[in-house]
Amino acid sequence: MKAYTKILFALLFISTLYSFNASIVPDSKVGYIDTSMVRELPKYKAVYEKLEELKEIEQSNYRQKSEEWERLRSQLEKTQGEFSAEEWKTKIDELTVMQSELIAMEEKSIKFLTNQEGILLQPVLEEINKKIEAIAIEKGYTLLLDENGTVLHVDKNHNLTDTFKSRL
């Protein structure tokens, strides 16, 4: 519902703009593409399958380190009275360092996965954008929107910046 409201608003805005500028932009043509279907494309799905594999590897590595930390923590808890105060502090410091490493490992993993998503998606999105541009040009659209009202294509020949600037 929200997406349709945005589209309606965008279309209303464009129609208003068109009516005020009919003499300047007489051949405007507006279209809409439901880009939510992109998620169903095999190439798009393949990207997220690969990301899921990478995520599993990252989680497995984290899980191993976390289990090691928990094992050491549990062992230390059971043998608490067997250490001098200095040895105890050293053991606690080791656990604290290991815990910090776990946090850093998780942050690094998130950054890595986010970076990989961008790298893997880039060629797919570039291909989609080229096809959108080709369709817009082929069908003569001056403006294409998606389901959220995001501009997917705008004909640069209808840029009114100079006209606007001259009237300031």
Question: In a structure prediction context, what are the per-residue pLDDT tens digits for the chain, which is 168 residues long?
Answer: 565 666 555 555 555 555 544 444 557 889 989 998 999 999 999 999 999 999 999 999 999 999 999 999 999 888 888 888 899 899 899 999 999 999 999 999 999 999 999 999 999 999 999 999 999 999 999 999 998 889 999 988 888 888 888 998
Reported pTM: 0.67
Handedness of CA 14, 138, 118, 36 (dihedral sign): positive
Strand, helix or coil for residue 69: helix
Secondary structure element (H or E) that encloses residue 143, with its range: strand 143-145
